[in-house]
A = this chain, B = another copy of it.
Amino acid sequence: MSQYKTYFIDLDGTIYQGKIKYPSGKRFIDRLKKAQIPYLFVTNNSTKSAIEVAKNLTENHDIATTPDQIYTSAMATADYLKATVAPHATVYVLGEDGLQEAIVNAGFEVVNRSDVDVVVVGLDRNITYDKLTVATLAIQSGAQFIATNSDTNLPTERGMTPGAGAIIAAVKTATQIEPLVIAKPELPIMTGALQRMAVQKSDVVMVGDNYQTDILAGINSNIDTLLVYSGVSTHDQINRVLKKPTHEVETLDDWII
């Protein structure tokens, strides 16, 4: 019998790297499918919808995936709002289509003004000074400040371009207010993922390549972790941290399900 009944799995650096396929990532998912073990891809990305992320896995990485197997920080943000904010709350969104859609789909009124109940900030590659200003004035007036994720950079073909964390830093500086952050390594995305899969923490393992996001998300929420050395974190870095991952493998081929 398998050690874990459900897998939470990071994407970039774990199952693929940008446009580069990881054969070990595909084989890992194939083995989970064969063993009929449920899994959920848990990603800090807030700009793409579940449909787009599933399509990318299916078409570009030969890993057949349905949208219900995807949990983005945008979806986690929408779930968090549903769980904590009044149903008719107004929301100003500084973010891209994936985020706007997730919040509208959750039933909230997304408006373009600063007298709102909640401001949600994520990566927005169409950032303007006016958008920064509306978010800033709204938070100064008492709107709750929620950040999808605090990733400082986005790996792209141009290099490590600014991530959601850069946009959020601008709003933090202009408001002197700390946001509530939804995505890994923070708790809300893990709470949301557990509820989506209707599983207990002790039955789950969080798989990822990044200690600062994936592994700390597991540690912070008392979920076992599996670090794979195929992306961001290195042996040197892990040797220096006090709280180690539950498991470590060089590639996902080394992991026995």
Contacts and interface: CB of A to CB of B under 8 A. Distances in A.
Nearest to A156: B133
Contacts of A169: 166, 169-170, 172-173
Given A166-B173, A167-B170, A174-B153, A126 B126 contact: no
Contacts of A136: 160-162, 166
Contact of A171 (B128, B132, B163, B166): B166
Given A170-B166, A176-B152, A159 B140 contact: yes
Interface in A110-169: 124-129, 132-133, 136-137, 140, 152-153, 158-163, 165-169
A213 to B, nearest CB: 15
Interface string A211-224: 00000000000000
Contact of A133 (B133, B162, B165, B170): B162
Contacts of A132: 127, 161-162, 166
Contacts of A158: 133, 137
How many copies, total?
2
A129 B162 contact: yes
Contacts of A172: 169
Contacts of A159: 137, 140
A233 B163 CA distance: 35
Nearest to A123: B129
Contacts of A162: 129, 132-133, 136, 170-171, 173-174
A173 B160 contact: no
A134 to B, nearest CB: 9
A129 B131 CA distance: 12
A24 B119 CA distance: 41
A19 to B, nearest CB: 19
Contacts of A126: 129
24 contacts: A124-B129, A125-B129, A127-B127, A127-B128, A129-B161, A132-B161, A132-B162, A132-B166, A133-B158, A133-B162, A136-B160, A136-B161, A136-B162, A136-B166, A137-B158, A140-B160, A152-B174, A153-B174, A160-B174, A161-B174, A162-B170, A166-B174, A167-B170, A169-B170
Q: Top 3 A-B pairs ranked by shortest CB distance?
A: A162-B174, A169-B173, A169-B169
